Amino acid sequence: MDRFADIMTTVLECEGGYVNNPFDNGGPTNFGITHKDLAAWRGAASVTPAEVKALTKDEAIEIYRKRYWGRIWGDRLPQPVDFVVMDGAVSHGVAAMLHMLETAAGLAMADALPEADLAAIVARANSDKAAVELATALAEARKKRYLGHEDAAHFINGWRNRLNTVMAAALEPYGVAWTFDGGVSGDVRPGGAGGVEATPVTSLMQSTISDEDLQRGLEAAGVYTAGIDGMFGEKSVAGMNVMFLKRTEEVSTGWQVWSATRRKIALGQLLCKDRGIDTGRIDGLYGQQTLAAFEAFNLLKAGQPLEKWRDEIHDDAAIAPPAPAINTAWPRQSEVPTFFGPPCKPQMKRLELPFRMRIAWDLEKEITGFMIHEKVHDSAARVFEKIWRHYGEAGIREIGMDLFGGCYNCRKMKGGSSWSMHSWAIAIDFDPARNQLKWSHLHARLAKPDATKFWEFWEEEGWLSLGRARDFDWMHVQAARL
């Protein structure tokens, strides 16, 4: 979700649907769009109440993006000022809200926001504290306007609730509160929306895309002109930020507060995507798919073909695992679409874990469950309960069964052209750093004797270990036979 869409979620909740209140000077209104605004948008002299009532949410959002967000320079206003100004433009009108913004910033009032004034506002709100102060000053100005409105007797409670809702959403990242009756409370905490988050710690050894290649990607995108020198400094970072702004719908939310290191990983993911290399989500997190994508990028750069070694492995080469004690007949891989449905559209259910797991590519984040195909949910839940009872917390951490390498992921097999079992959410990976794809039992941690019961628990439910069946990909277990 981009910043505009994020703000509009709250604005539309405040506006509601169709109303035609006789005390409201705006007349028929839907999603906050008055009949006059709708007529102007459609290029008509007027519209009927029925036309206002038939207005779709999508068209309302498009009106807000073009006639409000664009006119207030929403993409360039600092956070959380942008939030307060956008909602104010909807509630009071664009010109009135810009007057309040100019006044709060100590500038001369204008019906439009000149480029020079925008630069002055950005310069003033150059820290979390300064930006929050400007946002709360705007809230006070809006409060004063509401209280002085001729229709305050009829609408003040609704206006109070609206402004409280908007300010709570706008200020939430900063640890500060503002209310209509109480004003400001709390101090701006470090690392708010304008702060920098720590780089997530991954358990994987990292393969990188060189700084020179990152700069070439920025240069090709037309956002960097300072030369290819392999020194990813301020100009490179600035170009990277511009690229993210241009492609904001492709990048995970919150990239503005990522460290430069995480943003560089995300930039590498974008460059891979542009080359047709599947990287999954553009999130700046270094997991298995990013590792494989960066390796593929460097192979293509060197003029070498991408590896398809798994396409050459035939099912009859597999070593069959022990027969399951429980009669759970999962299909063969070739029959998976018939049994589970099409890839990338699984019917999923959340699996609650009996112990906490850590995300392998963001080790400071713990999970208590994850989404898995509903047909295998109960079977997997039984296995996790057995693992917990047998190994306990210490044993689970020792073997690495607490390191979650992922379940659902719409992608092709690494080193192959067929759909991965992850595309049906019927496969789970554990501790990918110590059980890498091509490692045999000589290196993989989950091939050691103390992990034998772990695999037996899965096999009792009919699940298959690629490690025990083929001696590679020891991180992986799947509810499908070979």
CB contact at 8 A, 203 and 192: no
What 3-state class would DSSP assign to 350? strand
What 3-state class would DSSP assign to 226? coil
Q: What is the pLDDT of residue 299?
A: 84
What are the CA-CA distances from residue 245 to residues 76, 267, 311, 354 (Å)? 10, 12, 39, 41
d(C-alpha 120, C-alpha 130), whole Å: 13
Mean pLDDT of residues grouped by 10 in the chain (482 residues)? 83 85 74 87 84 91 92 91 94 92 86 84 85 93 92 85 89 85 76 56 70 92 89 85 87 79 91 89 85 86 72 51 59 93 92 92 87 95 96 93 92 80 95 88 90 95 92 93 88
Listed residue (188, 175, 198, 215) closest to 257, CA to CA: 198
Q: What is the pLDDT of residue 285?
A: 86
CB contact at 8 A, 432 and 405: yes
CB contact at 8 A, 464 and 477: yes
- CB-based contacts of 183: which residues, under 8 Å, 6+ apart? 136, 140
Sign of CA dihedral 414, 420, 421, 422: positive
CB contact at 8 A, 388 and 355: yes
Q: Which helix (H) or strand (E) holds 405?
A: strand 403-406
Q: Name residue 185's beta-bridge partners.
A: 177
Class of residue 123 by CB neighbours under 10 A (exposed 0-12, middle 13-18, buried 19+) = exposed
Q: What is the pLDDT of residue 325?
A: 53
Sign of CA dihedral 337, 339, 342, 345: negative
Task: Report all structural domains of the chain as residue ranges with CATH numbers, in order of start.
Answer: 3-185 (1.20.141.10), 211-301 (no CATH), 315-478 (3.30.1380)
Listed residue (262, 313, 289, 304) closest to 405, CA to CA: 289
CB contact at 8 A, 445 and 400: yes
Sign of CA dihedral 365, 369, 372, 376: positive
- CB-based contacts of 353: which residues, under 8 Å, 6+ apart? 367, 368, 369, 370, 384
pTM equals 0.52
d(C-alpha 313, C-alpha 319), whole Å: 12
d(C-alpha 322, C-alpha 320), whole Å: 7
Q: What is the pLDDT of residue 23?
A: 63
Query: What does residue 319 show for φ and ψ, rounded to 5 degrees?
Result: -90, 120
Helix axes 152-171, 128-147, angle to 10 degrees: 170
Q: Name residue 372's beta-bridge partners.
A: 349
What are the CA-CA distances from residue 352 to residues 32, 111, 406, 431, 481 (Å)? 41, 55, 15, 19, 25
